[in-house]
């Protein structure tokens, strides 16, 4: 039985006004099929207001794909937590592997972004995951656990309710190659123990998402794993029917 509670769409640098409208319409019209699931859509910055205003539907939360660690000032191209809040955002992806790889985000910067996000009372979706060579070298858990510890350093247990951790093996992102449910669960079980170690019993309630080529055909099995509480969905979140099926698979 799936036991997922949260499904997040990451549109990356894709989508347009038409997709925002189509997605919201489809999720609203079919909402009774996944009533127990919290759905979040993270569009590019320019489409946030489409989802929070023009085609607003209050059962879909809106997230940003990244945020600045700074509050304001001379940071051309950046967007702050308060600006996101004002735009109606309630979730922020932090440390996505594409941000780490393509924009050289360091663990220290990711830690600052998590802190900025939590201080603004927004939910932080911390993304972690090993690459192919790290997995092949048997370093998966070393890499993932270090990323989590570094990103959550100095975070008080009181903030646990605003943190989500997404395990996204880099080799499975956008590649069509998915971690098997067993591979994903193996890491999630360790993640569960780690967040309990870091935050105490309340860590048992922290949502742990899997991301990496989740599709309608594999979502149910992944979401049925004991420690997988939902998914972070890239490519399949750009197709309304596929994303809808994934939301239904979580119910
Ligand atoms: C992602 O970018 O977070 C992701 C999981 O992408 P995909 O589903 O396309 O692998």
124-161: pLDDT as tens digits? 999 999 999 999 999 999 999 999 999 999 999 999 99
- Residues at CB less than 6 angstroms from ligand 1: 10, 168, 173-174, 211-214, 232-236
Q: What is the pLDDT of residue 1?
A: 55
171 is in an annotated binding site: no
What average pLDDT does this structure show over 222-251?
97
150 is in an annotated binding site: no
User: Is 168 a catalytic site residue?
Assistant: yes
Distance of alpha carbon 102 from alpha carbon 124, whole angstroms: 20
196-218: pLDDT as tens digits? 999 999 999 999 999 999 999 99
What average pLDDT does this structure show over 90-99?
98
SS3 of residue 155 by DSSP: coil
pTM of the full predicted structure?
Answer: 0.96
34-79: pLDDT as tens digits? 999 999 999 999 999 999 987 777 789 999 999 999 999 999 999 9
Q: Which of 195, 231, 167, 215 is nearest to 5 (CA)?
A: 231
Question: Would the pLDDT of 2 be above 70?
Answer: no
What average pLDDT does this structure show over 230-246?
98
ipTM: 0.97
Q: Which of 128, 109, 194 is nearest to 160 (CA)?
A: 194
Q: What is the pLDDT of residue 3?
A: 66
Q: What is the pLDDT of residue 194?
A: 98
Mean pLDDT, rounded, of the chain: 95
Out of 96, 98, 130, 188, the active site residue is 96
211 is in an annotated binding site: no
Mutate to test the pocket of ligand 1, among 178, 214, 238 (most ligand atoms within 8 A of CB): 214
8-31: pLDDT as tens digits? 999 999 999 999 999 999 999 999
Cα within 13 Å of Cα(236), Cβ side: 25
Measured from the CA of 168, which atom of ligand 1 is nearest? 5
Distance of alpha carbon 174 from alpha carbon 212, whole angstroms: 7
* Domains parsed from the chain with CATH numbers: 6-250 (3.20.20.70)
Out of 98, 105, 130, 168, the active site residue is 168
Q: What is the pLDDT of residue 248?
A: 96
């Amino acid at each position: 039985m799936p036991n997922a509670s949260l499904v997040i769409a990451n549109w990356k640098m894709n989508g347009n006004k038409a997709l925002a409208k189509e997605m919201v319409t489809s999720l609203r019209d079919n909402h009774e099929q996944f009533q127990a699931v919290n759905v979040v859509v993270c569009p590019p910055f320019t489409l946030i207001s489409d989802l929070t205003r023009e085609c607003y539907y209050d059962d879909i939360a809106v997230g940003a794909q990244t945020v600045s660690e700074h509050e304001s000032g001379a940071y051309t191209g950046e967007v702050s937590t308060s600006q996101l809040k004002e735009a109606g955002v309630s979730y922020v992806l932090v440390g996505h592997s594409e941000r780490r790889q393509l924009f050289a985000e360091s663990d220290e910067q990711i830690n600052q972004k998590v802190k900025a996000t939590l201080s603004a009372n927004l939910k932080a979706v911390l993304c972690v995951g090993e690459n192919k060579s790290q997995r092949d070298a048997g370093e998966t858990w070393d890499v993932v656990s270090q990323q989590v510890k570094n990103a959550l350093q100095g975070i008080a247990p009181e903030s646990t309710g605003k943190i989500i951790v997404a395990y996204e093996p880099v080799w499975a992102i956008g590649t069509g190659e998915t971690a098997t449910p067993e591979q994903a669960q193996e890491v999630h079980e360790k993640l569960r123990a780690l967040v309990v170690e870091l935050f105490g019993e309340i860590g048992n309630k922290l949502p742990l998402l899997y991301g990496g080529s989740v599709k309608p055909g594999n979502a149910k099995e992944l979401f049925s794993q004991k420690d997988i509480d939902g998914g972070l969905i890239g490519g399949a979140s750009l197709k309304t029917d596929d994303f809808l099926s994934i939301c239904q698979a979580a119910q």
